Amino acid sequence: MRGAGTTRSKPWTRGIVWTLALGWLALTLLPLAFVVFTSLKSQQDSFDKPVWALPSHLDWSHYASVLQGGFFTYLRNSAFVVGTSVVLIVLIAALAAYALVRLKFRFDKALFGLIVAAMIVPLHITLVPIYLLTRDLGLYDTPFALIGPYVATSLPVSVFILTEFMRQIPRELQEAAQLDGCGPWTIFLRIFLPLSGPGIATVAIYNGMHLWNEFIFANVLTSSPGNRTLPLALWDYQGEFSSNLPAMLAVVTLTSLPLIVVYAFGQERIVKAMMAGSLKG
């Protein structure tokens, strides 16, 4: 593919291409550089010197004070809520996708259409009733309050992705197992679940990323710092650090770091998962 494209283009075309590409790169990286840069300045530097001035010395004190604060509580809550939700999403969506793809029953197409159509529902319409429900159940302001809405709202897209994957598993495998007397549960556990590995990874990554950064449910259904997730750490710190920009940006860096580390190791997979999740339209 590359051969024809690059060797034939005139040098100035390539020049323009690279200038534009690097221009966009600058637009992408400059805001992020501003964050990391400023978070390492002393508060004095950030007041006295222009924003692009180098820090006079690397000041890690903001990171230290954030880490000594409640940061790890937020991190632990996020890990618990997102981890539990993703496991449940994968399991429940896989069961449903298997039934929709491989068990014949009346209205299976209509049901599939209905579940997929639910992707369009704006979450905001569910907010007030779920808030009231959570309050009535006594779950308000606990990490558990988030799991139900997280799992349910992730199901439509997850079922959609998994049906796409499961359709590609050959029917012959199922028919052979049926002849051996295997029931639907055995076939699901022994054949479909293991063979849906890539689809399951896609669903887990796609939802994991979304839920890790989820804001509105977490903001409405929890209130105390001890029960909140990472995106809310920023929200809660905002008052405390309103006059201390470097400290605030240290919080931004720290809350964003987990996903960036994960991305550094698995970017190929993550990009693929984002693609699969978006091809629903």
Of these, 164, 169, 234, 269, which contacts other proteins (CB under 8 A)? 234
Distances (CA, A) of 193 to 94, 122, 279: 7, 31, 22
Residue 99 touches other proteins, criterion: CB under 8 A: yes
Residue 255 touches other proteins, criterion: CB under 8 A: yes
Residue 90 touches other proteins, criterion: CB under 8 A: no
Of these, 11, 12, 68, 104, which contacts other proteins (CB under 8 A)? 104
Shortest Å distance, C-beta 39 to other proteins: 11
Distances (CA, A) of 105 to 65, 169, 173: 59, 19, 20
Closer of 27 and 58 to other proteins (Cβ): 27
Per DSSP, the three-state class of 50 is coil
Tokens 């997730």: give the residue.
Answer: 229
Per DSSP, the three-state class of 57 is coil
Shortest Å distance, C-beta 267 to other proteins: 5
Closer of 59 and 160 to other proteins (Cβ): 160
| Other C-beta atoms lying within 10 Å of the C-beta of residue 125 | 9
Binding mask 205-224 for other proteins (x = CB under 8 A): ----x--xx-xx---x----
Q: Give the C-alpha separation, 271 to 208, whole Å.
A: 13
Q: How far is CA 14 from the centre of its chain?
A: 36
Binding mask 170-199 for other proteins (x = CB under 8 A): -----x--xxxxxxxxx-x-----------
Per DSSP, the three-state class of 56 is coil
Tokens 């439509």: give the residue.
Answer: 156
* Footprint of other proteins on 135-164 (CB under 8 A): 148-149, 151-153, 155-156, 159
* Footprint of other proteins on 21-40 (CB under 8 A): 21, 24-25, 27-29, 31-32, 34-35
